[in-house]
Chains A and B, each alone.
Chain A
Amino acid sequence: MKEKRKLIKINLIAREVKRKKVPSHYLNFLPVLLGVVLGVIIALGMDYVYNSRVNRLKREVEAKRSELKVLSPYVKKLKETEAKLSKLKKMKQIISEIIKEAHVPLKVIQTVEASIPYEVWLREMDLSGKKLKLKGYSLNDEKIADFLENLSKSELIAKVSISYIKKVKVNKIPVKEFSAEVTIK
């Protein structure tokens, strides 16, 4: 039997390996592609920056709103407390005034007593509110004038006026009777 043999052809001549060439039209669009990619990257970057800024501001607004929510009741509270304070102050003023006025009569009597010169004596004293009526005697007009002058010097007295001075006899002694009206401050 004849053996069937296969023959292998071997080319021993060196040949140049041809590289596959990238088609030139792909490379041509590289700048455009780069433009697109860069454009998208820049746009996304800007979006990120602005988005984060907006989010930060939104958080800040929320924080401030909640702070305001905590503080806002004080506006109402202040109105109420101020009303209470003004009421209390008014109350205090009224009571202080009453207490202050209560000491006035004694002070007025003491002032009258301190203002009476020698040779003048009082017969009647009528104190009603801010008015004081005085009636008395003196040996002469000059002493009456001194008395009224002394009275008018007092810080308590606003005005002193004389109603009359007339000659009378007391226990057969000729004296001057006078009447004066005093306005208290």
Chain B
Amino acid sequence: MNRDTLNLILAGVLILLIIVGLNYFFYVKKKKQEIARLNNEIAKLDAEIQKAKLFKKRYFEVEKEIALVEAELERLKEKLPKKEDLPNLIRTIAKLAYYSGINFLSLKMGKEKVYPEKNYAVIDMNVEFAATYGQLMVFLHSVDGLDRLLKPHKLNIKEKNVSSNPLLSVKGILQTYRFVESPPSKGKKGGRRRGKKR
């Protein structure tokens, strides 16, 4: 191999390297940068997908929990009816009093107080009656076992006479509750704009 041939081979190798080098600098390098950017984007998207998957999982868990709480609430709401239905309540109390052997001296219905943020309304009933201790306990037991919630809020029990089975004078407030749906939250949409009257 003479020197000229060697030079030509070297020139060939040099040209090859130049072509490959130029290709690297003007094409492959950019592609490599793009690959790095895409890999970064994929990593970010993966993280976001993982997060979103957790949200999805939690969403279904919360949905299940809501179903459970709603079922339990429905059960509890039996004690707090939606309707006021006072005539029926008075009838029930009168029946309980009759079976307990007590006579109401007075029964005054108060005004309903509504607490929408707490989802209930309460009605006070001022009661006054005379009963023996045994009769009172039967009455209170019956009130306690009612389907509709009737809570002795205040009770003043006084002995009327001194005896082995004294008659008691009972004054108190019985409270009954009603379930109230919370008012719809005020959103931006749907509200009527207040404008100046023309």
Contacts and interface: CB of A to CB of B under 8 A. Distances in A.
Given A33-B12, A96-B76, A102-B144, A39 B49 contact: no
A85 B72 CA distance: 13
Given A39-B15, A125-B155, A125-B157, A106 B141 contact: yes
Interface range on chain B: under 10, 10 to 19, 20 to 34, or 35 or more?
35 or more
A156 interface: no
* Majority DSSP secondary structure for residues of B touching A: helix
Contacts of B31: 47, 50-51, 53-54
Contacts, number: 194
A156 to B, nearest CB: 15
B35 interface: yes
Interface in A33-81: 33-36, 38-40, 42-43, 46-47, 50-51, 53-54, 57-58, 60-61, 64-65, 67-68, 71-72, 74-75, 77-78, 81
A85 B66 contact: yes
A35 B35 contact: no
Given A68-B48, A78-B58, A124-B159, A101 B151 contact: yes
Interface in B157-190: 157-159, 162, 172, 177, 179, 182
Interface string B4-46: 1100110111111111101110011001101100110110011
Interface of A: 28-36, 38-40, 42-43, 46-47, 50-51, 53-54, 57-58, 60-61, 64-65, 67-68, 71-72, 74-75, 77-78, 81-82, 84-85, 87-89, 91-92, 94-96, 98-99, 101-103, 105-106, 109-110, 113, 122-129, 170-171
